[in-house]
A and B are shown apart, each in its own frame.
Chain A
Amino acid sequence: MQHLWLIPLFPFLGFLINGLFGRKWPNSLVGAVAVGSVVASFAWVVKVLLGVGELEHAYVERYFTWIQSGGVNIGVDLAVDRLTAVMLLVVTGIGSLIHIYATGYMSHEGGFYRFFSYLNLFMFFMLTLVLGANYLLLFVGWEGVGLCSYLLIGFYTLKKSAGDAAKKAFIVNRIGDFGFSLAMFLIMVNFGSLDFGTVMAKVAPLPVEQTMGILTIIALLLFVGATGKSAQVPLYVWLPDAMEGPTPVSALIHAATMVTAGVYMTARSATIFTHAPMAMEVVAVVGVITAVMAATIGMTQFDLKKVFAYSTVSQLGYMFIACGVGAFSAGIYHVVTHAFFKALLFLGAGSVIHALEGEQDMRHMGGLRKKIPITFAVLCCAWVAIAGIPGTSGYFSKDAILLAAHHHHPWMYWVGVITAGMTAFYVSRSMFMTFWGEYRGHHHPHESPAIMWVPLAILAALSLAGGKLFDVPHYLEPLFPMAHEEHDMTLVAIASSAGFIGIGLAYFMYVLSPGIPKSIAATLGPIYKLVYNKYFVDEVYDATVVSPMVAGSRSVLWRVVDAGVIDGIVNGTGTVARGIGSVLRTLQSGQIRSYAAWVTAGSVIVLVALSFLAGGAQ
């Protein structure tokens, strides 16, 4: 027994302790409990992974039967295989760093204990998600992280925009979860189990579906769930708005861990997907569209966190390209490296925002290179990593994806390369706008405390060296065999040069001749407007889905169904009961002797009835 259940239990205890008692406690104690619980969880993960050995096969611990009904038998089982091991290390490792950072970042905010209890609850659900040995337990974690995401996006309860963004995230995720639920029902009906091992064992011998079949439908429905959680077209709209939450939340939930749950789930269901090539094609194409679309939007935004949010959407698109072309290990590889550098980007952005006392608009930044040198230094590490400069972590994972894409369809490779260039461009743009030039704001920037920059430094080291250090695809080989080992240096060089070109272009446009962006925007006019306004997707959704829904609810569901039918029934019941009561209350005289008389009368009636029955029986 490795006691896997302890891994999620630590953060849950942290949640309970902080949630119940944290209100009265000093911030330092709350922070210690929160960080301690996650670090304990990380330590236990390491202990477990050392204890279970090579993990050639999944290590499963079965605790008890959760649901038993007819043929349905679902247990509370936790499992560790190499995929889970990678996710566990990422979630608890990055989670610990971000928790430490957050104790510094949130020190001046109200609701400190509330923030950390939510954050610990998130860790609990995220760990349940990756440890669950069946779809239903995964779904529990899946919904739980959605809940925590909702709570943390809306953390600043006094801001209406935060509440709206939280609701948006929750509702958009519902659509995806609906698909996921349908997929689970289909799996249950067709394979009689939700256990990963059982289902995959039953799927494996089935023939690969060349046309639309049950596996394709299941895979597509699972992918609908993934698009919701992992912010893919067309359900990505919630993620940019989710930046209303505190920055550590953006880093932990909306960059490093939760949004990659869709990729994890897809990789977990790899056997189903590989038996449904049509679904794989859909996954890859959606990934490509998302990557390009989000990258273009990212190039035009001025809000620092929004740029990184669209960058996250775009990078998640990359991961789905990898899954779609069958390179699941490359996708997970990118999950890991992306967790390093995107968490770093967000935390660094948080450090900038912290230094500027809440300023997020890059037009009011500039020249911060000298003022906050440590933040600048660590952000540079993230910058080169996401731009895919050779040797950094982003370079390895992005190349793995692009090579797999080239093997699948060359056009995907080329689109991916262009997107990589755009990625390098928008990150460089935000770096140049923030750190170069003259300071355009009116605050007094100050460097963040050590408790914030030490985690940043660790993440910076990981961003630079993490790709080489953790050879994830090799580690995952027992699960996802690498079909092709072609390492075409030309393709790699092209992809890397795209990064350099993006950086160079940004340097030219934003440092050397700062007037160019404006003139380009003016020249492109309508197209720029279209991209700047995020392709008007929110407006389209509002007009086609939200407004009709609200209008219909108001005129039909409220006025007719609720006020007319439901209230009518309720009030009618009340009226009838009152009428009967007004008759019967005369019996309730309060005179004990009249009650006794009624009891006697009743027993006379019963006796008469019994006598007749007995007389009839004789």
Chain B
Amino acid sequence: MDAILFLLFATLAVGCGINLVVQTHPISSALSLVGVMGSLAVLYLLLGAEFMAAAQMIVYAGAIMVLFVFVIMLLNAGAETRKARSKLALPLGAAGLFALLAILIFSVQALLPRTDPVRFGAFTGGTAKAIGQKLFTEYLLPFEVTSVLILIAILGAVVLARKEI
């Protein structure tokens, strides 16, 4: 069951990822990204990260992506206009990326130690309670600092939106 779920949602994630890259209209890309995030949320659940799966859906796929879609709609962004570019760039870049991917897969396969297969339920430390305890004890300072970061981001967004660049 684990394997089926993994394969299903991994395929979905990769498919949506490819779609994100190849679609020329940003709204299609945005919807593809929502698909990727949803699939990843299921995979998080499989890995025992139930709180992160929920956060992924609510914060990422929910809040952040809505913001993206909102901006795309607001700007009425159309499809990308093609420009005559170097014909060499695409094959060269693609080759380089495949090389990177190959190396990454190689290092994952060859260098990491062999481990047991992932089983759902083997790790149950990802509950909201466990994360809450960690966050408010060991990671209290970074957590509080992120609140400052977000405050600065809000202020920055407000200032930028008013200013002429």
Contacts and interface: CB of A to CB of B under 8 A. Distances in A.
Interface of A: 597, 600-601, 603-604, 607-608, 610-611, 614-615, 618
Nearest to B97: A600
Interface stretch (B23-31, B104-112, B152-160): B104-112
A544 B55 CA distance: 89
Interface in B101-124: 103-104, 106-107, 110-111
A604 B93 contact: no
B100 A603 contact: yes
A610 B106 CA distance: 12
A413 to B, nearest CB: 84
Nearest to B107: A611
Q: Sort A-B residue pairs by CB-CB distance and give the 3 closest, nearest first.
A: A611-B107, A604-B100, A614-B111
B103 A604 contact: yes
B11 to A, nearest CB: 25
A608 B100 CA distance: 9
Contacts of A601: 96
Contact of B107 (A597, A600, A603, A614): A614
Nearest to B100: A604
Given A608-B103, A614-B111, 10 more contacts: A597-B93, A600-B97, A600-B100, A601-B96, A604-B96, A610-B107, A611-B103, A611-B107, A611-B110, A614-B107
Contacts of A615: 110-111
Given A604-B103, A607-B103, A611-B103, A597 B111 contact: no
B99 interface: yes
27 contacts: A597-B93, A597-B96, A600-B96, A600-B97, A600-B100, A601-B96, A603-B100, A604-B96, A604-B99, A604-B100, A604-B103, A607-B100, A607-B103, A607-B104, A607-B107, A608-B103, A610-B107, A611-B103, A611-B106, A611-B107, A611-B110, A611-B111, A614-B107, A614-B111, A615-B110, A615-B111, A618-B111
Nearest to B103: A607
Contacts of B110: 611, 615
Contacts of A610: 107
A618 B110 CA distance: 10
Contacts of A603: 100
Contacts of A597: 93, 96
Contacts of A607: 100, 103-104, 107
Contacts of A614: 107, 111
A604 B97 CA distance: 9
A117 B53 CA distance: 73
A215 to B, nearest CB: 64
Contacts of A608: 103
A603 to B, nearest CB: 7
Contacts of B100: 600, 603-604, 607
B82 to A, nearest CB: 15
A595 to B, nearest CB: 13
Nearest to A596: B93
Nearest to A607: B103
B38 to A, nearest CB: 27
A41 to B, nearest CB: 52
A508 to B, nearest CB: 93
Interface string B106-149: 11001100000000000000000000000000000000000000
Contacts of B107: 607, 610-611, 614
A591 to B, nearest CB: 10
A516 to B, nearest CB: 92
A597 B97 CA distance: 9
A608 B111 CA distance: 12
B112 to A, nearest CB: 10
A618 B111 CA distance: 8
Interface in B35-82: none
A288 to B, nearest CB: 78
A259 B104 CA distance: 80
Contacts of A604: 96, 99-100, 103
A600 B110 CA distance: 22
Nearest to B101: A604
A607 B110 CA distance: 13
A500 B110 CA distance: 112
Taking each of A597, A603, A604, which has the highest tally of chain B beta carbons within 10 Å of its own beta carbon?
Answer: A604
A323 to B, nearest CB: 69
Contacts of B93: 597
Contacts of B96: 597, 600-601, 604
A615 B107 CA distance: 9
A603 B107 CA distance: 14
Contacts of B99: 604
A15 B72 CA distance: 66
A603 B100 CA distance: 9
